[in-house]
Amino acid sequence: MQVQPPIAMLAELTHRCPLSCPYCSNPVELTARERELSTDDWRSVFGQAAAMGVLQLHISGGEPASRRDLTELVRAAREAGLYTNLITSGIGLTEKRLAELDEAGLDHVQLSLQGTDAAMADRIGGYKGGYDRKMTVAKWIGAIGFPLTLNFVMHRGNMHQLSRAIEMAQEMGARRIEVATVQFHGWAMQNRGALMPTREQATEANRTVAEARARLKGTLVIDYVPADYHADYPKPCMGGWASTGINVAPDGLVLPCHAAQTITGLEFDNVRDRPLADIWQNGSAFNAYRGTDWMQEPCRSCERKTIDFGGCRCQAMAIAGDPTATDPVCIKAPAHAKIRDLAADFSGQDEAALTWRVMDKTPG
Amino acid sequence: MTPEGTPFLPRGVRLHFDTVRDNWVLLAPERAIRLDPIGHAILSRVDGKTTLAAIAADLSATFEAPLEDVTRDSTEFLQELANRRFLEVT
């Protein structure tokens, strides 16, 4: 198979983060600071990425501002020719640091929003004062003039705040808002009872987004990740496994998607041991579900197989117990009844407690 | 989008030559848009000083194409970018 180069790289600089959101997309086994790639390692990764065809670099974590060398890394990425996007909670960014990032050439900022008021945001983030700090950081971002995307992460507890989140994006001068319903992997899997939206909420959010898109055309772009447990067709995860995106974890492991480590049996290579382009082309984890040859029925003969690519491999693993199964979100999937029952069951667990993310303090 | 308007690329949106794929792309927040030669010809004339009418006239002369067609096509192309917040007009 002719392998096209990736367009985007997600660089997870660190798993350290001042927030402890119960739906954190990092793996449940977090990487300690001692095992993080060095500044020079990342510089090499960015150079290799640009040379192989990556155009967009999403700098994330954890909280990327927890890396003291963040500005240096942004500069290195720009020098390599990459478009640099900082994905941040805002915590750890000062006015001075933002000015330095501006000078280093940072292209765009994506700011996360855990709730539209301090009570909600600070409870979900597990960080008192976080919301007020974030609002201050948003003002600094606006004053410098960075293009801004607001990222509102939605779940049963805060879905009623969606309209207000869209208003806030406009007030902040954001060009885009990402409205992303929590995806159930990693930490969120432990919190499905507290986070799962109801079917009514999912329908209402669809309606709110459709109305706002029409009303705000040309003013605010809305990217939307619906509640997929309530959907009929799966999300086209990663636009197809190993087709457009490549992730590098804090310790240098190279992953086809950020949750790929939940799939047992896959082996991942490390940028410390093997060139990035070789991993992308020939790495066993990348070739495991690339293209369509790995598919079973009903995907194999489905007219949607190059639209949604069988959906999410991690969700197939988690719900159907088989990473080559059809994503159970799909109405044609053998395990669809199971995910529908899970959605109904979890979304009704009104007494479920939240379990916040914790990072083991002992060096691992 | 009127002929008198002057389009410009806002901060965070820029043209970039993709040496690996050997084509021009428009890089924008969390998007990379591959440009065909016509798209590149239009956007390479967007400098924040030239009106859409002047851009269309230049394209019409350069490519020996009817001004009316060029104006319509460029307006549509730029309007679509503006809808996605990749382009602004003064």
Tell me which residue in A52, A175, A218 faces B29 most closely, judged by beta carbons.
A175
Q: What is the pLDDT of residues B7-45, one digit of tens each?
A: 999 999 999 999 999 999 999 998 999 999 999 999 999
Q: Whats the size of chain B, residue-wise?
A: 90
Distances in Å between the Cα of A147 and the Cα atoms of A109, B13, B32 are 6, 9, 15
Residue B10 in contact with partner chain A when CB distance is under 8 A: yes
DSSP code string of A160-209: GGHHHHHHHHHHTT-SEEEEEEPP-SHHHHTTHHHHPPPHHHHHHHHHHH
C-alpha B27/C-alpha B25 separation (Å) is 6
Q: What is the ipTM of this complex?
A: 0.95
Q: Report the pLDDT value the prediction gives residue A2, as an integer from 0 to 100.
A: 80
Residue B25 in contact with partner chain A when CB distance is under 8 A: yes
Q: Report the pLDDT value the prediction gives residue B27, as an integer from 0 to 100.
A: 98
The secondary element (H helix, E strand) that includes residue B81 is helix B67-83
Minimum distance, in Å, between the CA of residue B81 and any CA atom of chain A = 9
Cβ atoms of A198 and A350 closer than 8 Å = no
Q: Report the pLDDT value the prediction gives residue A238, as an integer from 0 to 100.
A: 86
- Are B29 and A149 inside 8 Å of each other by CB? yes
Residue B69 CB contacts under 8 Å (≥ 6 apart), including other chains = none
Environment class of residue A29 by beta-carbon count within 10 Å: exposed (0-12), middle (13-18) or buried (19+)?
exposed
Paired sense of beta strands A108-113 and A83-88, if any: parallel
Residue A167 CB contacts under 8 Å (≥ 6 apart), including other chains = none
Q: Report the pLDDT value the prediction gives residue B58, as an integer from 0 to 100.
A: 97
> Which residue blocks in chain A are alpha helix, DSSP H?
39-52, 70-80, 95-104, 118-125, 130-144, 162-171, 186-189, 192-195, 199-215, 276-282, 284-288, 313-315, 336-347
The secondary element (H helix, E strand) that includes residue A221 is strand A221-225
Q: Report the pLDDT value the prediction gives residue A126, as an integer from 0 to 100.
A: 97
The answer to whether residue B67 scores a pLDDT higher than 60 is yes
In the block, tokens 């009872």 appear at A193
Low-confidence ranges of chain A (pLDDT < 50): 362-364
- Are B85 and A146 inside 8 Å of each other by CB? no
- Are A53 and B18 inside 8 Å of each other by CB? yes
Which amino acid type is present at position B24? W
Q: Report the pLDDT value the prediction gives residue A363, as an integer from 0 to 100.
A: 46
What phi and psi, each to the nearest 5 degrees, are found at residue B35?
A: -105, 135
Q: Report the pLDDT value the prediction gives residue A146, as an integer from 0 to 100.
A: 98
Cβ atoms of A150 and A170 closer than 8 Å = no
SS (H, E, C) B30-80: CEEEECCHHHHHHHCCCCCCCCHHHHHHHHHHHHCCCHHHHHHHHHHHHHH
As given in the structure block, the two tokens for residue A6 are 């990736």
Closest residue of chain A to B82, computed from CA coordinates: A218
Cβ atoms of A217 and A224 closer than 8 Å = no
